[in-house]
Structure 1
Amino acid sequence: MPAFMFPPAMLLLSGSLALQTVTAHDADRSAELERRLAGPDGEILVVAHRGCWLDTAENSLAAIDACVAMGVDMVEIDTRRTRDGVLVLMHDATVDRTTDGSGKLADLSLAEIRRLRLRSAAGGKGVGTTAWRVPTLAEALAHAKGRILVNVDAKEDVRDIAATEVQALGMARQVLFKTEAPAATLAGKQWVSRAAFEPIINQRKLKGEMHEAIASYDVFKPVAYEIVFNDIAFLDEAVATLRGKPVRIWANTLDYDFSGGHVDRIALIDPDAVWGMMRDRGVDAIQTDQPRALLAYLDRTAPALSRDGSTALTGQEQ
């Protein structure tokens, strides 16, 4: 029967059921995201650095959408404050590399930022512009809510403001904040309790014993620890120290080298030597600029749990 022939009451009921289905799906997705962020689940958490920017633009809403479509678990975004105090997505202190504008972000108002267009991919001199604009942090969070986890990398002392925006959107269990700051300096910081928390244990900066540094953060109930290492022995020590704690172990394969040369450009040639090595040593969260390649590698090399917890077929089995 054509839709126009249904009685009004039936059409109303049909629309109501569709709305309930969408709402139930959204609730299930949000619950699944929160479960994955809350602690290890036997899967690698794939984190896209500055979003999935290779075919979009870094720190853009389009980069978030691309990650959702790709099946990435978490998007990392950077935030800074405009002259009039609004948090927007921007990695650098200036807008030169990533937009068609110039100057320090802190010297520009939100209205001035709104007039800029983002450059493609990672930007840079001579790179073409897109139709995309610089989003505010609140816009980016709302865009990601219930769709993908978010790591907010605050480039200034704006974590308390950012955490307030996270809390206002009801996303405290979908957003991660991290810091290298010593535990003793975090008492009283609002942001530590308003979102998921991840300390960074950096081999270049660690003073004292590994177990003491890790234990000092226990009071804040971290969901993960990021390990920045020069050599594998340091990673192994961190994994051994964290064994038994209900936390993820996070490592980076970014080409800036936070992992003793185990970086994306090598992983694209020999993924076993980078991503496979980390997985086999106990890492279960990897931040990368090559999320598509990492996802494909994980599908090829190991059976994984699907997002609803049931066994999923790997790429080889399909």
Structure 2
Amino acid sequence: MFIRNISATLVLFAATLSANAQHHPTLPHVKNKIVVISHRGNHVEAPENTLASTKEAIACGADYVEVDLRTTKDGHLVVLHDAKVDRTTNGTGMVANMTLEEVEDLQVFNRNKKTHRVPQFKELLAICKGKINIYLDFKEADVAESWRQIKAAGMEKHVVVYLNKEAQYHQWKEVAPEVPLMTSLPKDVTTSEQLADFLKKLHVQVLDNVASPEMVKAANSHDVAVWLDVQSPTEGPTSWKEALNKGVQGLQTDKPADMVSFIKTLDTN
């Protein structure tokens, strides 16, 4: 009886360790001292959210390419920021009301006049494998199918999912509890105590809108990283230094090549 009880205890202990591990996913490995996230790909050099802008993000040495995920009328996953195709393509209408064939017939606006199109998620995954991590801004898509495609591409350990709704948190935790998650703090979370309460409800690994050094430190004390959005027409070393002085671990930028060069200078100072 004594041995049987020990065996039962060991099984329970192992199960507890496994469950705890699921609640503490590991962030992907990065190359740079400060995490460099290329916003919608390197869209200064190529149209946003295209295979070309993703390749440019890889070429400049960014740690992550940030892309947006949506679903077509017939259930295919495509990479596009807006709910409508109007701003970035020669078409009109909601992505959710279009078939994959209709979406792939669109041309993405591009000043260098080369033809680009809205890519499928699986195409982008294939390009990224072994070269760059994915910061997946999860707009409107099916979690199970997204995870299936991530696994099929062998990218399970190279994706961080940005959540836009609390419902998405529960969906991802159910389907893929090992995936690192990221979100924004609600506006009413302004103190370290409120932050701690928030993190008890949503076990995320990254936050993106923690502005004060005190709150960044509080997030880090809970093993939560902070990656700030710094992209703007006037961003550069001055604004990057200002953000880094808050103690953050990563920056999302519209100028990934310049930021990578800037980050390298920090290693020598």
TM exceeds 0.5?
Answer: yes
Q: For residues 110 and 187 of structure 1, do their structure 2 counterparts lie closer, same or farther at Cα, with a shift above 3 Å needed? A: closer
1:103-142 matches, within 5 Å, as: 103-120=93-110, 129-142=113-126
Which residue type is aligned with residue 279 of structure 1?
A: L
Query: SS at the partner of 1:102?
Result: coil
Residue aligning to 2:11: none
1:1-318 matches, within 5 Å, as: 37=28, 43-120=33-110, 129-179=113-163, 181-182=165-166, 186-187=169-170, 189=172, 190-191=174-175, 193-202=177-186, 205-207=187-189, 209-217=191-199, 222-229=204-211, 235-255=212-232, 264-265=233-234, 267-268=235-236, 271-272=237-238, 274-300=239-265, 302-303=266-267, 314=268
Q: Is the 8 A contact 2:208 2:226 kept in 1?
A: yes
Q: 1:206 Cα deviation (Å)? A: 2.6
Q: 1:82 Cα deviation (Å)? A: 1.0
Q: Is the 8 A contact 1:149 1:175 kept in 2?
A: yes
1:223-256 per-residue CA deviation (whole Å, 9 max, x = no partner) reads 3222254xxxxx223212123343421111123x
Query: SS at the partner of 1:250?
Result: strand
Which residue type is aligned with residue 69 of structure 2?
A: T
Q: For residues 42 and 64 of structure 1, do their structure 2 counterparts lie closer, same or farther at Cα, with a shift above 3 Å needed? A: closer
CA distance in 2, matches of 1:200, 1:191: 21
| Stretches of 4+ aligned residues off by more than 4 angstroms | 218-221
Which residue type is aligned with residue 117 of structure 2?
A: R
Q: Is the 8 A contact 1:99 1:129 kept in 2?
A: no
Asked which structure has the greater RCO (Cα within 8 Å, sep 6+), the reply is 2
Q: Is the 8 A contact 1:172 1:196 kept in 2?
A: no
CA RMSD of aligned residues (A): 2.9
Q: For residues 158 and 254 of structure 1, do their structure 2 counterparts lie closer, same or farther at Cα, with a shift above 3 Å needed? A: farther
CA distance in 1, matches of 2:159, 2:192: 26
CA distance in 2, matches of 1:42, 1:100: 37
CA distance in 2, matches of 1:46, 1:299: 11
Q: Is the 8 A contact 2:228 2:248 kept in 1?
A: yes
Which residue type is aligned with residue 218 of structure 2?
A: T
Query: SS at the partner of 2:78?
Result: strand
Q: For residues 243 and 186 of structure 1, do their structure 2 counterparts lie closer, same or farther at Cα, with a shift above 3 Å needed? A: closer
Which residue type is aligned with residue 57 of structure 1?
A: P
Query: Percent identity, aligned pairs only?
Result: 27
Q: 1:297 Cα deviation (Å)? A: 2.0
CA distance in 2, matches of 1:42, 1:144: 17
Q: Is the 8 A contact 1:174 1:196 kept in 2?
A: no
Q: For residues 146 and 214 of structure 1, do their structure 2 counterparts lie closer, same or farther at Cα, with a shift above 3 Å needed? A: farther
Q: For residues 75 and 118 of structure 1, do their structure 2 counterparts lie closer, same or farther at Cα, with a shift above 3 Å needed? A: same
Task: Please list every run of 5 or more consecutive structure 1 residues that lacks an aligned counterpart in the other structure.
Answer: 1-33, 121-126, 230-234, 256-263, 304-313
Query: SS at the partner of 2:227?
Result: strand
1:152-208 per-residue CA deviation (whole Å, 9 max, x = no partner) reads 1122253443223213323221001122545x9844543551522123224xx2347
1:9-48 per-residue CA deviation (whole Å, 9 max, x = no partner) reads xxxxxxxxxxxxxxxxxxxxxxxxx98626x998210001
Query: SS at the partner of 1:59?
Result: coil
**TM-score, normalisation: structure 1:** 0.67
